[in-house]
Chain A
């Protein structure tokens, strides 16, 4: 079978290892005296980053405006829950995700008319436009600079039964299950024929077009899916914190998620989670060391520069390369 080498032959091993990691992660954090909430936060960023990886790592599209969708999904979900428009968190998340996807389709259909740096600049501009909309015209729905407090926890009732995810560990389990679902779907996407064409577009968009693929459509669908991931993660952020922060819409947020993806390893799907972990834990750790508390940002910056220059394909990319080298030659 000639298609043997097409895609990767990891089977379900990656999904299995990821599930195992998600189960063990809170215990691992506890070993180092880190609370479960930080783990939840890392998973939310990892989920946001899966979308970034789909467009950046797989399709070669660098967007500086992903916070627009993180915020859109987040504020739609938070509004629906605060005003009890939907019975539970899953319904609100679904609608928030859909809203972010629609915003993604709209922004994508305009920004994707350009390529390369011009595309990146347009996404930046749209990101700022959404931030402005959040802050001024839509302040009744977003609370402007105050954000939206009082987002209800994830509690599901059906008849006499109640499923309560409102504890710290409960919230982790809720987010971990959704992360796993998102990861599972993304793995299917990148291994599909659709995913193969995305990689071809990353490698050589002109040739992908020349052999007959409707490249603009592929880009738009990928961009829309990435926005959906952002929206889902944003919705989870509001539920997890009980508060939807306006910072979700900021350019800092757009930039951070790219840095996390690059540090972790673009084109790996799990890379953003690793990058988010490194980012979040380092940040937390450095701030807690008294001697360097004043200059933690400087140290964090230096660490990131070293990571990015030292591991061109990110931590996960480096690990995969190392594993490949250690495996006995066949």
Chain B
């Protein structure tokens, strides 16, 4: 079976700095892949290239058999790759429900439509998609609240909700549990477990309990390059990984 997402020899240079150096990743449909590595390993840059936020200097990205290099983030999103960001990127002065409406509109009515006399209520399936998403991320009782007034953990949940409401087939989660309390982290892990039934997931995460609890496969990056790839058991046993990362003081 061919992979849902295949990134080959992705390289990104910023001037003289090579942030990502010939990194490759294949993601099977229905799997959870974790991306780990010390700070500055290039995980976030690699992720940004998968989402179309930045273009690779060289290398190729195929999604469902389509070459998506240079598509740009909006087109990649509409194709089915959703991303939640490490730093919360919400619409602060809109309500929680309105926040989720925005990606849902892109999913249901496309990248652009000049429906200036249309009604939000008459967009087919919008109500269901928004309600389902808010239920998934546990914000159903906060729909009318201004998003900027949410507690930090709630904002993180909304951040994931914004990605989910684009109805992605592949969900990229960049440190979803960053800054969350242990309870919130556990809830997020539960959420990801539930999501795996419907969506393929790639996750960047520093919390090793989260990573080893969730992932089918783990890719370890260091200095922009892939140094190991395999199941959690394989990674745990890998001497290079232990040297580079797990054994170090960086284990948060």
Task: List the interface of chain A (C-beta within 8 A of B).
Answer: 1-7, 188-189, 191-197, 199-200, 203-204, 206-215, 217-218, 221, 225
A-B contact count (CB 8 A): 131
Nearest CB in chain B to that of A218: its residue: B112
Task: List the interface of chain B (C-beta within 8 A of A).
Answer: 51, 53, 73-75, 77-78, 82-83, 85, 89-95, 97-98, 101-103, 105-107, 109, 111-121, 123, 126-127, 130-131, 134, 140, 143-144, 162-163, 165-166
Inter-chain CA distance A203–B103, complex, in Å, is 14
Contact B114 A221 (CB under 8 A): yes
Chain A positions within 8 Å of B116 at CB level: 188-189, 192, 194-195, 221, 225
Chain B positions within 8 Å of A188 at CB level: 116-117
Q: Which of A191, A196, A199, A212 has the most CB of B within 10 A?
A: A212
Contact A212 B121 (CB under 8 A): no
Chain B positions within 8 Å of A212 at CB level: 74-75, 77-78, 103, 106-107, 111, 166
Nearest CB in chain B to that of A202: its residue: B93
Out of B93, B98, B123, which one reaches A5, CB within 8 Å?
A: B98
Out of A4, A208, A210, which one reaches B83, CB within 8 Å?
A: A210
Q: How far is the CB of A79 from chain B (nearest CB, A)?
A: 29
Out of B112, B113, B121, which one reaches A3, CB within 8 Å?
A: B121
Out of A3, A214, A218, which one reaches B101, CB within 8 Å?
A: A3
Contact A3 B94 (CB under 8 A): no
Inter-chain CA distance A215–B73, complex, in Å, is 11
Contact B83 A3 (CB under 8 A): no
Contact A204 B166 (CB under 8 A): no
Q: Which of A7, A188, A213 has the most CB of B within 10 A?
A: A213
**Quick one: given A192-B117, A211-B106, are A203 and B143 in contact (CB under 8 Å)?**
no
**Quick one: given A191-B120, A206-B89, A212-B78, are A6 and B95 in contact (CB under 8 Å)?**
yes
Out of B78, B94, B114, B119, which one reaches A199, CB within 8 Å?
A: B94
Contact A192 B74 (CB under 8 A): no
Contact A200 B120 (CB under 8 A): no
Chain B positions within 8 Å of A4 at CB level: 97, 143
Contact A196 B126 (CB under 8 A): no
Inter-chain CA distance A210–B83, complex, in Å, is 8
Contact A214 B112 (CB under 8 A): yes
Nearest CB in chain B to that of A210: its residue: B73
Contact B91 A192 (CB under 8 A): no
Chain A positions within 8 Å of B112 at CB level: 213-214, 217-218
Inter-chain CA distance A210–B85, complex, in Å, is 10
Chain B positions within 8 Å of A210 at CB level: 51, 53, 73-74, 77, 83, 85, 89
Nearest CB in chain A to that of B143: its residue: A5
Contact B92 A193 (CB under 8 A): no
Can you show 26 pairs from A to B with CB atoms below 8 A apart?
A1-B127, A2-B127, A2-B134, A4-B97, A5-B95, A188-B117, A192-B116, A192-B117, A193-B109, A193-B115, A194-B113, A194-B115, A194-B116, A196-B105, A196-B120, A199-B91, A200-B91, A209-B74, A211-B162, A212-B75, A212-B107, A213-B106, A214-B74, A214-B111, A214-B112, A215-B74
